[in-house]
Amino acid sequence: MAEVAIRRSGDLDDGTAQTPGLRRLEAISARLVGSEHIWMGLSVLPPGGRTAWHHHGDSETALYILSGVGRWWIGDAATDVREAHPGDFVFVPPNVPHWEENGSADEPVQMIVARSTQEAVVVNLDRPVRGGEG
């Protein structure tokens, strides 16, 4: 049985799967605390930043927005956009291609991330993010 673990904000680990433009920090995982069913961490998207195209494989992803204005461009043509603000929760189903954008020019988007897998599954896609999409 795993022990109760406290992970301090200064001890988060960036040695997890990354997507260009976004910094993922691992907090709760099989590797760090022995969790069996979840992964949890913090993602930070800098002011005016955007990520590359990616999806999270078979992992369900839930986010809680701490700061900034997050936008998710969804689907093959990136014609569907969703926007979230501090206090909002976001759900991204498995295998949904998307890219993220910070709608704020002066504040980072900081998000608590929880996944239904023990690891941060990230599948980066080789697609350009065009200026007209965001």
Stretch 14-34: mean pLDDT: 85
pLDDT tens readout for residues 31-84: 898 888 889 999 999 999 988 888 888 889 999 999 999 999 887 777 788 999
CATH domain 13-125 topology: Jelly Rolls (2.60.120)
> Would you kindly state where each structural domain of the chain is located, as residue ranges?
13-125
Confidence of residue 133 (pLDDT cuts 50, 70, 90): very low
Stretch 104-120: mean pLDDT: 89
What is the CA angle 29-34-38, rounded to 5? Answer: 40
The closest alpha carbon to 111, from 63, 71, 72, 69, belongs to 63
